[in-house]
Amino acid sequence: MDRPPLAERMRPERLEDLVGQQELVGPQGLLRRFWEEGSLPSLLLWGPPGSGKTSLARMLAVHSKKRFRFLSAVDAGVKEVRAVIEEGNGLFKPLLFLDEIHRFNKAQQDSFLGAVESGQLTLIGATTENPSFGLNPALLSRCQLLILQPLGTDELHQLALKAVTQDAELRALGLELVESNALVRHAQGDARRMYNLLEWLAGSLAPENGVRRITDQAVLAVLPHFAVYHDRDGDQHYRLISALIKSIRGSDPQAAVYYLARLVSGGEDPVFIARRLVILASEDIGMANPQALLLASATLESVARIGYPEARIPLSQTTLYLSLSPKSNSAYLAIEAALEAVRLAEQQPPVPEALSNPVTKMQKDLGYGQGYQYSHEGPHHFVHQDFMPPSLRGRVFYQPAGNEREQAYQRWLQDHWPEYTLGSSDSG
């Protein structure tokens, strides 16, 4: 018979044994109130892996004396959910714990919406993703949302010590927790991850005088076999890429390269990262330093060719360059303003005839191209003429930002296009 993993053996059975989440299970916590009042509504538990979602659900089910049913949205579907709902026609109402509920699509979520609303089924959904993205608004409105936090350093140390001293199988191996810093640090707030690493160590450490000592050095020796947690399709993915972009936009190279390292170590697609850098180079730097777009575009091409591990180097170079570059969103604001003018126009004005190229005799006879002046024939390759449709003459879409390069553009525009009222922008 296969033994259950350490994480399962250490799963708490009472609310008092739960480590962490004191804002929920402490004396003033919402879950504590549900527990004491014996009234359990349908819940959504949102928190990172290993924060205690499954343990909480099982304890609540036992306390509420409901039939506990466990399903995972990874391998279950509507058929399995309906089978649980049918149990609600009997004397005892079931409590369904649906792990990774965000993986159910809208139709699948709708399949148990009515049962939740009528009280035929008590639902506890667990998710590592932001519920506002993955869950139907109708389901969100019928469930109490509870947010679980990653476990802290002291809490993880407490769990590790408890496992070593109380788990019968670990005690039989003669484990001694000498140091826990590396063990706890690598767990990244995930109790299950820490238990898995602890169990790995227990089986691999050589005893010395009958004692297997867990030290930081021993943990570091097995770390290459474990990957840094990063869900490329989930909330963590979006939070990290958002942090990277915002750090670059905020001109903080230290924070930017740190978040880049988080993405790289988690196995994030280097092409995805590079594409976001290309967008940022235009949106947030743009006219302040046009070279930024060239470097970002070259990075996109290079990382697509070389891949990891070397792709980390051009990604780092470009991240640092973009962070330290002067910033301007004037190109972004210009196209948005122009698009808005197009959207709001009741009728799009015709292109001036002088700008229309006469490719046929009929077009020439109609006046296409008449009045156009070839710019290169003017002094300094400039001839003052009307390019804008008459109804939009004088409209300003591009407003130079306050950086040095664009201020030079500003002076040039004021000298050559006095009919446009150009003021300095605060966006740079």
- Read off the tokens for 367: 């006046």
For the cut 80, the answer to whether the pLDDT of residue 62 exceeds it is no
Picking from 26, 5, 7, the residue whose alpha carbon sits closest to that of residue 190 is 7
For residues 12 and 19, give the distance between their C-alpha atoms in angstroms, rounded to a whole number. Answer: 9
Res 425: pLDDT? 43
| pLDDT greater than 50 at residue 143 | yes
Grade residue 236 by pLDDT with cuts at 50, 70 and 90.
Answer: low
Residue 203: closest CA among 6, 2, 12, 1: 6
Task: Return residue ranges of the chain for CATH 1.10.8.60.
Answer: 153-225
Residue with tokens 């740079």: 428
Q: Quick one: how many helices (H) and strands (E) in the chain?
A: 22, 7
pLDDT over threshold 50, residue 25: yes
**Residue 251 near residue 320, CB atoms below 8 Å:** no
Q: What is each CA distance from 362 to 176, 245, 344, 354, 370, in whole angstroms?
A: 94, 53, 33, 15, 13
pLDDT at 225 over 70: no
Average pLDDT over residues 48-60: 84
- What gap in Å lies between CA 159 and CA 272, rounded to an integer? 37
Query: Looking at domain 235-324, which CATH architecture does it have?
Result: Up-down Bundle (1.20)
Cβ atoms of residues 144 and 24 within 8 Å: no
Task: Specify the 3-state DSSP secondary structure of 69.
Answer: strand
Count CB neighbours of 126 within 10 A. 23
Q: Could you tell me the pTM of the whole model?
A: 0.54
Least confident of 77-86, 182-191, 227-236: 227-236
Least Cα distance to 321 among 296, 298, 297, 284 occurs for 296
Question: Do residues 56 and 99 make contact, with C-beta atoms less than 8 angstroms apart?
Answer: no
Q: Taking a C-beta distance cutoff of 8 angstroms, is the pair 296, 304 a contact?
A: no
Of 50, 47, 52, the closest CA to residue 14 belongs to 52
Top pLDDT among 96 and 61 is at: 96
CA distance 397 to 335: 7
Q: Is the pLDDT of residue 176 over 50?
A: yes
pLDDT score of 294 more than 90: yes
Question: What pLDDT was estimated at residue 105?
Answer: 82
pLDDT in tens, 310-323: 899 999 999 999 99
- Average pLDDT for residues 106-118, to the nearest whole number? 83
Return the residue matching tokens 């466990």: 70
Mean pLDDT score, 104-119:
83
- Report whether pLDDT(6) > 90: no
pLDDT at residue 234, rounded to an integer: 54
Angle at 123 between CA 120 and CA 127, to 5 degrees: 160
CATH code that applies to domain 153-225: 1.10.8.60
End-to-end CA distance of the chain: 67
Which strand (E) or helix (H) includes residue 127? strand 122-127
Considering only 71-85, 352-366, 370-384, which range has the smallest mean pLDDT?
Answer: 352-366
Q: What is the mean pLDDT of the chain?
A: 83
State the span(s) of the chain assigned CATH 3.40.50.300: 21-147
Token pair of 357 as six digits: 């190229």
Say how far apart CA 73 and CA 196 lie, in whole Å: 23
Q: What angle do CA 183, 226, 304 make, to 5 degrees?
A: 135
CB 334 within 8 A of CB 422: no
pLDDT of residue 424: 43
The token duo for 310 is 């070397």
The average pLDDT across 346-369 equals: 76
Task: Give burial (CB, 10 Å; 0-12/13-18/19+) of 379.
Answer: exposed
Query: In CATH, which of 1.20.1090.10, 1.10.1200.10, 3.40.50.300, 1.20.140.10 is domain 21-147?
Result: 3.40.50.300
Query: What integer is the mean pLDDT of 219-243?
Result: 66
- Return d(Cα 289, Cα 325) in angstroms, integer: 7
Domain ranges in the chain with CATH number 1.20.272.10: 235-324
Residue type, position 262, single letter: R
